[in-house]
Amino acid sequence: MSDPKQDGSTQSSQNSSPSRDDQTTNKENVRKKITPKAACWNHFTKFVTEEGEKRARCNTCDVTYTMESTSGSTKNLNNHLKACLKRPRGNTSNPKQSELTFVKVSQETTDLSTWVVDKDAVRKALVRMSLFDDRHLDFIAEDILYGFNTAHRVDDKWRLQKRIINFCPISVHRGESIGQAIKKCLRDWGIESVFTITVDNASANSVAIEYLRKKLNHRNVSVANGKFIHMICVAHILNLIVQYGIKDATVSVDRVRGAVRYIRASPSRLTEFNQRVKEEMIDSKAQLCLDVPTRWNSTYMMLKVVENYKRAFESYVRDDYNFFLDLTAGDGVPTFDDWEIVRRVIKVLEPFYHLTLKVSESLHVTSHSLFEVLTDVHCIFDGWQDCGDLDIISMTSKMREKYNKYWGEGNKVNMLVYLAVIFDPRCKMIFLNFRVNLLFPNVANDIMKMIDKELHCLFNEYSSNARRIELFEGRSSSSTNLCSSMEIDQSAMKTGLAKQQYLKKNKQVGLESKSELDRYLGEDEEVNNSSSFDLLLWWKMNSPRFPILAQMARDILAIPISTVASESAISTGERVLDSFRSSLTPLMVEALVYTQDCLRKSNDAFNLEDYVDELQTMEDGNI
């Protein structure tokens, strides 16, 4: 039998003390909710899936991660935050956090300084780096041709501006398709009035220009009814002239080109060649360069350099049997006669090379110099015709034949070629008349009459537009002011001064009745033939005296006479669309090309020699 006290004590103890399960339950009920302390939880939200799996969702991009890890690690969440593309990159905790850097104070000492990371500036720098990545174009779809347009104008501050406004694929390279692409470009940019369009002499371009002329005339927005709209690139015509002239020298040029290609094929050959240059005591630092056979200007640059190393090449032929075998298997080894022909080719090409550089100028206006170039070429032919060298005479005879095809008749030249000369205050009509008589002595008078007629018609068109603008703006026209100046003070009739006042005002009317054009042509020519003469600055300074002529000068002088500088867009396209970017859409390619052109400095001059290697790449890729 048990002790009653003991039993009561036991029962009391059992009634007053809760069970272990009850203790655990009570502790869970009173335990406070623990807030996650890891910083990543500021950017993630916990949730449970329908299957009961615990996961965390990124608040920015909605990517989810599992939370079933027994270790409670948040490493995967932190790694995501570092790579999340949609997460803001700013330093929200301390946006002005500084970094330490060493600043050079002098040649001997440096100082410790701080700088703040500007992530917006870094982002812009990365964009610029991407746009100006100078990698060549290694891939372009063979069934797509890219066309591009550049707009040229002289702005209100009398600065020449050139901008790429179109770089798009043209699936069908026909005249009407090209014309439609240009028309769409003009419409997208809101360009209403078009003075000229400069293109090369391809037949498809001629069809495209005629298509545009009709469309613009239908809308009545072209200048002079599109009479001057078609301007043929002078550089392309010079190219045809030169290529036709040196055709007979092709074999000799090919042999020299083969020799250059062999030397440039490996570093060891170049090293050995340079050693022979030293042995022959040739004083030249120019590097051997290959040309693009269809670009005569690059051929000239190649031959100009090679001529200096003639003795080194001859030494190579004597001592290197592999060199001899390699060239013999190709076009052959350059002979003494070949080097003589090359010397003559260089002599013929040199003036044309400098003329091409002149018409391809990108920083200054060039339209006023085109007629001067035509005259210079004519004089070059006349000079070589009596040089006594039969090979050079043969070359120049062929060149003159091609020259006459395009520029032999004065009435077939775009009239703006003549009018642009008149807007050079150093030339005007006197200089133009001299050159017209030099080129076309038999029909010079007829051509000058035609030029005078076109000049006055164009001036009248600009004058009419100016008057319409004045009336629209509510300003008094010059005729109103003229009439008011004719009013005679009636009180003067009583003082006996009527006669003197009448004669004075009548003389003033006689001066004011002359047009701007007559006054400009009547003034003496500027005596300044220095290369520093700024034509646009002269018109800027004199625009208050000749407001209508100044507007004409802005339009005429801005006309590009060559597409060579504009064709640098091809090189821009090469850098934008390479083997790593071959999947870019045409719209993105155009955006990148246009943006890169806008970011380039406006004072970057175009240097023809800089594009020789790129032309070689284009030639090898049949672009």
> Tell me, what's the pLDDT at 90?
47
- Torsions phi, psi for 65 (to 5 deg): -135, 150
Q: Which residues contact 537 (CB under 8 A, 6 or more apart)?
A: 158
Domain termination site, one of 17, 52, 75: 75
pLDDT band at 136 (very low <50, low <70, confident <90, very high): very low
Query: What is the arithmetic mean of pLDDT over 182-200?
Result: 83
> Tell me, what's the pLDDT at 373?
92
- Tens digit of pLDDT for each residue in 334-355? 999 999 999 999 999 999 998 8
Among 34-38, 461-465, 493-497, whose mean pLDDT is lowest?
493-497
Q: Which residues contact 571 (CB under 8 A, 6 or more apart)?
A: 611, 614
> Tell me, what's the pLDDT at 72?
67
Whether residue 100 is contained in a domain is answered as no
Whether residue 508 is contained in a domain is answered as no
Write out the H or E segment, with its range, that includes residue 596. helix 586-599
Tally of domains within the chain: 3
Q: Are residues 276 and 253 in the same domain?
A: yes
Between 168 and 289, the more confident residue is: 289
> Percent of the chain scored above 70 by pLDDT?
65
pLDDT band at 491 (very low <50, low <70, confident <90, very high): very low
Residue 263, Cβ neighbours under 10 Å: how many?
23
Question: Cα dihedral angle (473, 478, 481, 482), rounded to 10 degrees?
Answer: -160
Q: Are residues 256 and 291 in the same domain?
A: yes
Cα–chain-centroid distance for residue 162?
7
> Tell me, what's the pLDDT at 70?
58
Whether residue 179 is contained in a domain is answered as yes
Whether residue 63 is contained in a domain is answered as yes
pLDDT of residue 494 exceeding 80:
no
- Decide: pTM greater than 0.75: no
Q: Are residues 221 and 243 in the same domain?
A: no
Q: Are residues 289 and 252 in the same domain?
A: yes
Query: What is the arithmetic mean of pLDDT over 181-193?
Result: 82
pLDDT band at 379 (very low <50, low <70, confident <90, very high): very high
Query: What is the arithmetic mean of pLDDT over 111-126?
Result: 62
pLDDT of residue 201 exceeding 60:
yes
- Tens digit of pLDDT for each residue in 568-612? 554 444 444 444 444 565 566 666 665 666 666 544 444 545 544
- Tens digit of pLDDT for each residue in 285-304? 888 988 877 778 888 999 99
> Tell me, what's the pLDDT at 160?
87
Q: Are residues 206 and 243 in the same domain?
A: no
> Two tokens at 288?
């051997």
Residue 423, Cβ neighbours under 10 Å: how many?
24
What is the average pLDDT score of the chain?
75
Q: Which domain holds residue 226?
A: 145-233+563-620
Q: Are residues 243 and 352 in the same domain?
A: yes
Domain termination site, one of 360, 377, 411: 360
- CA distances, 382 to each of 386, 388, 397, 400, 515 (Å): 7, 12, 10, 10, 41
Q: Where are the alpha helices (DSSP H) in 309-389?
A: 310-319, 321-329, 336-359, 370-385
Q: Are residues 244 and 343 in the same domain?
A: yes
Contact at 8 Å (CB) between 559 and 231? yes
Q: Are residues 158 and 217 in the same domain?
A: yes
> Tell me, what's the pLDDT at 297?
83
CA distance 324 to 318: 8
Contact at 8 Å (CB) between 143 and 123? no
- Tens digit of pLDDT for each residue in 50-103? 888 888 888 888 888 887 665 667 888 888 887 776 666 544 444 445 555 555
pLDDT of residue 139 exceeding 50:
no
Whether residue 333 is contained in a domain is answered as yes
Query: What is the arithmetic mean of pLDDT over 387-416?
Result: 89
- Tens digit of pLDDT for each residue in 534-557? 999 999 999 999 999 999 999 999
Q: Are residues 251 and 348 in the same domain?
A: yes
Domain termination site, one of 360, 394, 415: 360
Closest CA to 75 of 46, 39, 49: 39
Q: Are residues 325 and 252 in the same domain?
A: yes
Whether residue 92 is contained in a domain is answered as no
- Tens digit of pLDDT for each residue in 425-484? 999 999 999 999 999 999 999 999 999 999 999 999 999 887 766 555 554 333 333 333
Q: Where are the alpha helices (DSSP H) in 473-578?
A: 478-486, 490-495, 498-512, 516-522, 535-542, 547-557, 568-576
Cβ contacts of 315-322, under 8 Å, gap ≥ 24: 315/276, 315/279, 315/280, 316/259, 316/263, 316/272, 316/273, 316/276, 320/272
Q: Are residues 246 and 356 in the same domain?
A: yes
In a 13 Å sphere around the CA of 547, the CA atoms on its Cβ side amount to 9
Whether residue 103 is contained in a domain is answered as no
Whether residue 587 is contained in a domain is answered as yes
> Tell me, what's the pLDDT at 152?
82
pLDDT of residue 243 exceeding 60:
yes
Q: Are residues 204 and 257 in the same domain?
A: no
CA distance 184 to 189: 9
